[in-house]
Chains A and B, each alone.
Chain A
Amino acid sequence: SQWGEENLQALSIQEGEDVTMNCSYKTYTTVVHWYRQDSGRGPALIILIRSNEREKRSGRLRATLDTSSQSSSLSITAAQCEDTAVYFCATDALSSNMGYKLTFGTGTSLLVDP
């Protein structure tokens, strides 16, 4: 398997709190994508971090990447109710046919209570 953890994780926090979600991967990658998925909708890319970046910020989102430990994290500062969603990390790996394919972890279900 691509991933160290296979089960969908669930987190529940209060509005205004900070939260960090982690993922680890086994296969070499040059990019880690973070997606959010709202109920009944397709995944939406929220932040992307490349292997030459240790940290990437976008608004209240912060992604980190540690290629030596093959792990990435996504932090949300001052979470809001609308941040409630399932969050996935995914790696963008070169396939045997020289094309890129995106491989997903199982995700973290985040619930932000008012």
Chain B
Amino acid sequence: EAAVTQSPRNKVAVTGGKVTLSCNQTNNHNNMYWYRQDTGHGLRLIHYSYGAGSTEKGDIPDGYKASRPSQENFSLILELATPSQTSVYFCASGDWGFGPGTRLTVL
């Protein structure tokens, strides 16, 4: 059974809409991370967390918020989605295991 899962796997959103990407891990890791991957840029860190209730800004946090309501769950929130946020988003947990990714398209 996969240790890091993400939902949804695919999402189409409209510009200005709110988008929430969810991540769940079953390994009881303290640390969780959100990355985005764009062609030619590798993976870039958006937000991360050290445990329930904590969120920290990564290297490219602008336009994103994060929420860690529990040890298992870490969400990435786009309050006002823009086309530039079209990307593939990956969640990872403390042992650097990654989820399968969410493909987000903002029209």
- CB distance B42 to A107 under 8 Å? yes
- CB distance B42 to A44 under 8 Å? no
- CB distance B97 to A104 under 8 Å? no
- CB distance A103 to B45 under 8 Å? yes
Tell me the bound Cα distance from A105 to B43 in angstroms: 8
**Which one of B12-20, B62-70, B79-87, B98-106 is at the A interface?**
B98-106
- CB distance B43 to A88 under 8 Å? yes
* Number of interface residues, chain B, beta carbon within 8 A: 24
Check B21 for interface membership: any CB of A closer than 8 A: no
- CB distance A44 to B98 under 8 Å? yes
Q: What is the predominant secondary structure among interface residues of chain A facing chain B?
A: loop
Query: What is the 8 Å Cβ interface bit string for chain A, positions 1-36, against chain B (1 contact, 0 not)?
Result: 000001110000000000000000000000001000
Check A41 for interface membership: any CB of B closer than 8 A: yes
Which B residues have a C-beta under 8 Å from some C-beta of A? Answer: 4, 31, 33, 35, 39-45, 48, 50, 56, 58-59, 90, 92, 96-101
Sample of 9 A–B contacts (CB below 8 Å):
A8-B42, A40-B101, A43-B98, A99-B56, A102-B45, A104-B43, A104-B44, A106-B40, A106-B41
